Amino acid sequence: MSEQQPPADRRTATELLLALDDQPGRSLRERLGAALKDAVRTGRLPPGTRLPSTRVLAADLAVSRGVVVDAYAELIAEGFLISRAGSGTVVSSAGRWSAAPPGEASGDPSTQRTGAVQSDVLDLRPGPPDLAAFPRAAWAAAMRDVLRTLPDHELGYVAPWGSDAMRETLATYLARVRGAMVKSPDVVVVSGVTQGLTILARVLGAAGHRTLAVESPGHASQRDILSRQGLQIRDVPVDAEGIDADALARTRSRAVVVTPANQYPCGVLLSSARRRALIRWAEDVDGVVLEDDHDSEFRYERLPVGCLQGLSPARVALLGSVSKSLAPGLRLGWVVPPGFLQPAVRALKRDDDFGSGVLDQHAFSRLVVTGAYDRHLRQLRHRYRERRNALVGALGRDLPSWPIQGQAAGLHVLVRLPRDVDEAALVDTALDTGVAVQGTAAMYGSLPPVAGLVIGYARAPIGRLDEGVRRLAAAAAAVARGRGGSSRGAPARRPRGSTALDYC
Ligand SMILES: Cc1ncc(COP(=O)(O)O)c(C=O)c1O
């Protein structure tokens, strides 16, 4: 495709905000030309956008048509616009400052290592599922069905805590698949685990909690978000059985966020002894356990273990979402709070946004009820198991001294680094070598970090995983050479960043 050609997905800007302010000494044509250029340069009019006809724009701006004809002609001559028979006047890609959003285009190293990576970089950071596997046809069928049959009143302000259909579906599903103790009135539909946790943190703050315990290592962005809800974060270590219940008791917190099904990022299944200890602790301190059940659908070698909430619905709030099973962009999740927190959670959800989108709730509900969701998950499990095996095999072949931690579950593996490998240097060098992975340093909060990498396999076909590990091994070799060679003691090339793929 030539530089001048717009992409295929054309947009039509029949509504266009253009300010033709009074500018002494400049003609109307010049002012219109400048306003259009500004809109193209800043990306308000992206490449491919079809502009209004000269007649329509002239009428909208209350100027003569000749002014618009001249302004368009000038911008066509300068390459900002393209005129094509049959397609009118279209924004070209030549006038844009940069395809990258502000910040990424700035060359600022602090922004280079976060957010989007270059397209030639293999992105093996953890987080999203394989978005190409989103069940578009099944979702479209479910949505068509919803639109055909949904009574009009369901499109109004339904209960802010979720449509009846969604809550009934979730109650049945969570009991069936997660062993949850739940009835439909207990479910609060939210926009994701993140909203569920922030609501719960604020509810706890209002109820007198001052601190909130979290797992260390744990999800770095989640810890940051929670720390902004008014509670002090207390980091609790995780070992081979999951969160250390004795260390938790020493924090004197009365609330904790845990990932029992698949500890993030260590991949530990919370042992049954620890499950009992956690519940005992919650009863002793009159506290609450916030169970982030984020990727419990994905386990590849053993039957799933039921959720903690099923053991103690009075002390555990269960949180989940479709962010890993379908797509994070749906922003659809749920909370099943213990009864004593129900009214406050509902009230905050109501005050936050008056409820999540009902069409998606109904579509998801249809997907579950028709069995399409179960089928989708079965396919995904098969695909992810193969990808995980491929990644583990490639790591064993190319980086045999790096131990892999955790159960065969979820969407990533955690590898520990040999003592002499500098995690930040490796993450940085890996990106230069063409593979993005995530270091674990930022996941420990206030506790001393242990060097490791989190490598996501959900989004990469098997061949790409193989290539990614080869690049990682090349990066490790380059870091080792640098350590023993001339770069020892040299100043850092640039500030190092993690390659966190922030989900918020
Ligand atoms: C540990 C953990 N919890 C929860 C989530 C999902 O959050 P949400 O449901 O808000 O998308 C993620 C997503 O990456 C995660 O890694």
Long-range contacts of 111-114 (CB under 8 A, 24+ apart): 112/497, 113/427, 113/428, 113/431, 113/496, 113/497, 113/498, 113/499, 114/497, 114/498, 114/499, 114/500, 114/502
The amino acid occupying position 93 is S
Nearest protein CA to atom 13 of ligand 1, as residue? 127
> Rounded to the nearest whole angstrom, what is the distance from the C-alpha of residue 159 to the centroid of ligand 1?
25
Count of C-beta atoms within a 10 Å radius of residue 301: 9
Q: Which residues pair with 214 in a beta bridge?
A: 235, 257
> What is the CB < 6 Å shell around ligand 1?
127, 192-194, 219, 259, 264, 292, 294, 321, 323, 328, 333, 503
> Rounded to the nearest whole angstrom, what is the distance from the C-alpha of residue 264 to the centroid of ligand 1?
10
Domains of the chain: 11-91 (1.10.10.10), 109-127+375-484 (3.90.1150.10), 136-370 (3.40.640.10)
Please state, in angstroms and rounded to a whole number, the distance separating the CA atoms of residues 279 and 273. 10
Backbone dihedral angles phi then psi of residue 189, each to the nearest 5 degrees: -80, 130
Nearest protein CA to atom 5 of ligand 1, as residue? 294
Q: Which atom of ligand 1 is nearest to the CA of 331?
A: 11
Under the banding of pLDDT at 50, 70 and 90, the label for residue 484 is: low
Q: Which residue has the higher pLDDT, 385 or 106?
A: 385
Please state, in angstroms and rounded to a whole number, the distance separating the CA atoms of residues 68 and 82. 15
Under the banding of pLDDT at 50, 70 and 90, the label for residue 77 is: confident
Q: Which atom of ligand 1 is nearest to the CA of 197?
A: 10
Nearest protein CA to atom 2 of ligand 1, as residue? 294
Residue from 385, 368, 255, 394 nearest 317 by CA: 255
Is it the case that residue 429 has pLDDT exceeding 70?
Answer: yes
> Rounded to the nearest whole angstrom, what is the distance from the C-alpha of residue 193 to the centroid of ligand 1?
6
Residue partners of 488: CB distance under 8 A and separation at least 6: 482
241 Rama class: left (phi>0) / alpha (psi -120 to 50) / beta: alpha
Please state, in angstroms and rounded to a whole number, the distance separating the CA atoms of residues 192 and 221. 14
Under the banding of pLDDT at 50, 70 and 90, the label for residue 116 is: low
Residue partners of 110: CB distance under 8 A and separation at least 6: 495, 497
Give the pLDDT confidence of 3-62 residue by residue, as tens digits: 444 444 456 667 777 777 777 788 888 889 988 888 888 777 888 888 888 998 888 888
Averaged pLDDT for residues 132-158: 97
Q: Which atom of ligand 1 is nearest to the CA of 128?
A: 14
489 Rama class: left (phi>0) / alpha (psi -120 to 50) / beta: left
User: How much is the pTM?
Assistant: 0.80
Give the pLDDT confidence of 265-288 residue by residue, as tens digits: 999 999 999 999 999 999 999 999
> Rounded to the nearest whole angstrom, what is the distance from the C-alpha of residue 265 to the centroid of ligand 1?
11
> Rounded to the nearest whole angstrom, what is the distance from the C-alpha of residue 118 to the centroid of ligand 1?
24
Contact between 322 and 190 under an 8 Å Cβ cutoff? The reply is no
Q: Which atom of ligand 1 is nearest to the CA of 264?
A: 1
Averaged pLDDT for residues 139-153: 98
